[in-house]
Copies of this chain bind each other. A is one copy, B any other.
Amino acid sequence: MARATRGERIAFMVKSLVDRPAATLSLSAFAERLGAAKSTISEDLAIVRRGIESTGMGSLITMAGASGGAKYLPRREPADVRRLAQSVCDRLNCPDRILPGGFIYMTDVITSPVLAWEIGEVFATQFANSGVDYVVTMETRGIPIALMTARAMNLPFVICRRDSRATEGPSVSISYVSGSTRTIQRMSLPKRSVRQGSRALVIDDFMKGGGTARGIADLLGEFDATVVGTCVVVATGEPRKKLVEDFLPLTVLESVDEFNRRVTVNPGGWVPRT
């Protein structure tokens, strides 16, 4: 793009930055691509920052100097976290979702690309400064939200599997007790998927007893890896005491009344109230 106008340069830069959250893009590359001086690009970036930060949905970090660059960090403000948690509650608080056995159909919500992206940015915001190396989940339904969290943080993404497979090579497996069904299950990770001594953020769709989250932490422990946080989209109100100590539930499923056909889901306790 030769001789782009300021507006065109800004559009190009914002597109490039938003496409690659948390990745540093160099000023020199922008200058070369846009046929502009680095000083001009720096001025443009000041405008980009004001435009992006005015959305209340992200910030722009600029690094000066020869190796100067900029990166866009998604960020969800408290009001936005509250709005999102409430909208998930509103979608789940629906008698049509009650399934035999008192389960709730939530797959469409959990796997929605738009919601997964929004929730992923909320979780990424909470752990933006926690020195996370990997985002980890257990297959299957946690994958969309965990993937979007990893994308928002520009981190690699790791999936624990129910069984180890020939296509994943040497693996480490553990047994764990499912907190809800009290059955013994297995989960495994390829040996080459996680570096020894690294730090992991655990994301899952649902937590009842916390057995899966505990299992992931134990499995990561086999890699000397530390869990820096655990986030779930829906946790059940009961049992209050889970097998993991600290976790952030976006919403809490308080009760399912099959008889009166009533579902009660509320925002999690850490979600800002007003």
Contacts and interface: CB of A to CB of B under 8 A. Distances in A.
B105 A192 contact: yes
Interface string A9-25: 11110111011100100
A253 to B, nearest CB: 12
B108 A193 contact: yes
Interface string A98-113: 0111011111100111
Contacts of A113: 147-148, 150-151, 154-157
Which has the most chain B C-beta neighbours within 10 Å: A5, A111, A161, A193? A111
Contacts of A54: 1, 4, 8, 12
Nearest to A190: B107
| Copies of chain A in the complex | 2
Contacts of A167: 99, 103-107
Given A12-B55, A51-B8, A20 B114 contact: yes
Contacts of A139: 139-140
Nearest to A74: B19
A7 B107 contact: no
Given A116-B147, A157-B113, A15 B166 contact: no
A173 to B, nearest CB: 16
Contacts of A248: none
Contact of A101 (B15, B140, B166): B166
A6 interface: yes
B158 A111 contact: yes
A99 B157 contact: no
A155 B113 CA distance: 8
Interface in A113-153: 113-114, 116-117, 139-141, 143-144, 147-148, 150-151
Interface string A42-57: 0010011011101101
Interface of A: 1, 4-12, 14-16, 18-20, 23, 44, 47-48, 50-52, 54-55, 57-58, 99-101, 103-108, 111-114, 116-117, 139-141, 143-144, 147-148, 150-151, 154-159, 161, 166-169, 190, 192-193
Given A107-B167, A113-B150, A139-B140, 12 more contacts: A4-B51, A7-B51, A10-B10, A10-B14, A11-B51, A11-B52, A12-B51, A19-B117, A107-B190, A108-B192, A116-B147, A147-B147
